[in-house]
Amino acid sequence: MKAMKTVIAAATMMTAVTGMAAEVSGNVALGSEYFFRGVDQSGGEALSGGFDVAFESGFYVGAWASSIDFSNGPELDYFAGYGGSFSKEVSYDIGYLFYGYPGDASLDFEEVYGSVSFGDATIGFNYSDDYFDSTGETTYFYIDYGFTLTENFSLGLHFGTMDAGDSVAYNAVFEDAIDDYSISLSTEVSGIGIDFSFIDSSGSGALDADAEFAVTFSKSL
């Protein structure tokens, strides 16, 4: 975590000192629930927000935080990556993510990720050598597809599947739930983004989303 803070601070300072062209953006959101890969993280309303620093080269860094209900503190994530394109239709993104839980550092974990986008579709892959709460090696594969319904509304479809391999610890904690699904209807009113989502997962126990609806209000800064 300290290493990621150093990377973010150094990149920000480099932008200010050298005059490198960079775009700084932020976001804040309030949701009725916070789900991560089909798992309810907040047990109710969640406040979240973050910022990104994107450089002309394609390199970016950022941080994001959200309220949660299973630790004495928020979830605090740091990330760094690089994005580019193979052509006008095909782009890619690769990077590193640190998931931090200041209230219980034993839950911390890291992932590397990569994705390729074809128009409105994205195929992505995440890998962790020791997942949440030291539950072992995992991979996560997902497909997202979004399209415009009308001038004011768009629809997003998501499917993800997690493979814990032979991790005894993972299977003992999370049982057999590996797939998650969601459908989101999005619009914007007076600069406020509104997302209505239906979330479900294939398993039971800790990874069961229990087919819930969620609404999220967001604002880009």
Q: Which of the four pLDDT bands, split at 50, 70 and 90, describes residue 156?
A: very high
116 or 138, which is more confident: 116
* CATH homologous superfamily of 2-220: monomeric porin ompg (2.40.160.40)
Distance separating alpha carbons of residues 157 and 121, to the nearest angstrom: 9
Task: Give residue 72's identity as a one-letter amino acid code.
Answer: N
How far separated are the first and last CA of the chain, in Å rounded? Answer: 25
pLDDT in tens, 5-15: 555 555 555 54
The confidence score (pLDDT) of residue 58 equals: 95
Higher pLDDT, 176 or 51: 51
pLDDT the model gives residue 134: 82
Split at pLDDT 50, 70, 90, the class of 26 is very high
In the block, which residue shows the tokens 């989303």?
Answer: 209
pLDDT score at 21: 81
- Asked which of 35-49, 85-99, 100-114, 157-171 is least confident by mean pLDDT, the reply is 157-171
Q: Where are the alpha helices (DSSP H) in the chain?
A: 2-18, 168-174
Domain ranges of the chain: 2-220
Q: Biggest alpha carbon distance in the chain?
A: 52
| pLDDT above 50 for 17 | no
pLDDT digits (tens, 9 = 90+) for 62-110: 999 999 999 889 999 999 999 999 999 999 999 999 999 999 999 999 9
Q: Can you say how many angstroms the Cα of residue 189 is from the centroid of all Cα atoms in its chain?
A: 24
pLDDT of residue 175: 53
